[in-house]
Amino acid sequence: MPPPTRNPPNRFSLEQVVYDEAPPAELTVLEETARSILSENESPDVGFRFSINPYRGCAHGCAYCYARPTHAYLGHGAGSDFERKIVVKVNAPELLEEAFERPSWRGETIAFSGNTDCYQPLEARYGLTRRLLETCLRYRNPVAVITKGALVRRDVDLLAALAREARCRVTMSIAFADDATARAIEPWASPPSRRLDALARLAEAGIPCGVSLAPLVPGLNDGDVVRILERAKEAGASHAFTVLLRLPAEVLPVWDERLREAFPGRHARVMAAIHEMRGGRAYESAFHQRQVGRGERYRMLARTFELHAARLGLRVAMAGEVQAEGPAAGPRAEATTFRRPRSQLDLFEG
């Protein structure tokens, strides 16, 4: 198990707390009464417009998490603070119902989660994601879930109902083929073996499922691509996508520290490959460039992914895509299933 991760300097604070040695990383839960719950995405290279994040910070502790810098906006660090100081939006379900009742809401697909994982461990205690899904079902609003939390199995009943009554898809994020490697980089997330079990359970229930092989890390998990795709297909996946490792702002020092500690013999080789695929840099921030790489080595990796996905009959999706899957899918997929319930009787109408 990795030690607590150092918090890189906060760009938004002139004062920094420096410890002689890392303090114990105990979980701190910060309950928040949020002002809004729907986030609107304007990035042209992400496949959703609206997303919900009932939690800020993520106890999964993935070293590569691109959401780490957002914790700095709250005055916290992007290292162990991001992993152990978790903000809980306790009024999230009520805010979503308020949003659904506004005349301006048109029933677009909502992504769970666009930032931090909606099925991280605290969900077992607070149940916010489940209550949000219940609201979506009541209003028949389409949803798309991406997670690496096996806790998603708990909500198979709701997700299956959404797949029948509206539109729903679940994408399981699996970056590593073996549990040991995943534990070193994603220390408190469900191991890949349990994620695959959860994917199989969801698929058996008739829920459209897929796999996100992200991030793709040259020199670390590029040899896992075929095995992950094959196992996901066997579990019932119908789509797949991949994203090259992103290291914006404070993510870079957190990733560098964890990689060096977990895989000292691979560190130099992995970082050199990342720079090679990023044109000599650790990160490319431009839209349509930040999720892909350049050069012959990257093209070979991307081609391997595409060829094996095609061989297995997996549709290659774009990152974060929320394409319609359900009763409204097809030529009129843009026609939402959303409707405002007039009475409790509406819940039982066909």
Q: Structural domain boundaries of the chain?
A: 29-322
User: Tokens in use for 32?
Assistant: 């928040």
User: Tokens in use for 299?
Assistant: 């093209």
pLDDT greater than 90 at residue 332: no
Contacts of 346 by beta carbon, 8 Å cutoff, 6+ apart: 339
pLDDT (0 to 100) of residue 81:
93
pLDDT (0 to 100) of residue 20:
31
Contacts of 228 by beta carbon, 8 Å cutoff, 6+ apart: 174, 175, 176, 177, 192, 211, 213
Rounded to an integer, the average pLDDT of 333-350 is 68
pLDDT (0 to 100) of residue 286:
79
Sheet holding 168-173, edge to edge: 38-40, 50-52, 110-112, 143-147, 168-173, 209-216, 239-244, 315-316
SS3 of 3, please? coil
Q: Please state, for a pLDDT cut of 70, what percent of the chain lies above it.
A: 85
- Model confidence at 331, in pLDDT bands (50, 70, 90)? very low
pLDDT greater than 90 at residue 308: yes
- Model confidence at 13, in pLDDT bands (50, 70, 90)? very low
pLDDT greater than 90 at residue 154: yes
> Is there a contact between 263 and 203 (Cβ–Cβ < 8 Å)?
no
- Model confidence at 64, in pLDDT bands (50, 70, 90)? very high
Q: Tens digits of per-residue pLDDT, 158-183?
A: 999 999 999 999 999 999 999 999 99
pLDDT (0 to 100) of residue 126:
97
> Is there a contact between 37 and 219 (Cβ–Cβ < 8 Å)?
no
Rounded to an integer, the average pLDDT of 9-19 is 43
Higher pLDDT, 259 or 74: 259
**Which residue type occupies 61?**
G
Class (C level, CATH) for 29-322: alpha beta
pLDDT greater than 70 at residue 144: yes
Q: Tens digits of per-residue pLDDT, 246-305?
A: 999 899 999 999 999 999 999 999 999 999 999 999 888 777 777 889 999 999 999 999
Q: Tell me, yes or no, if the pTM score tops 0.85.
A: yes
pLDDT greater than 50 at residue 7: yes
Q: Tens digits of per-residue pLDDT, 193-246?
A: 999 999 999 999 999 999 999 999 999 999 999 999 999 999 999 999 999 999
Q: Which of 25-34, 228-237, 322-331 has the lowest mean pLDDT?
A: 322-331
pLDDT greater than 90 at residue 123: yes
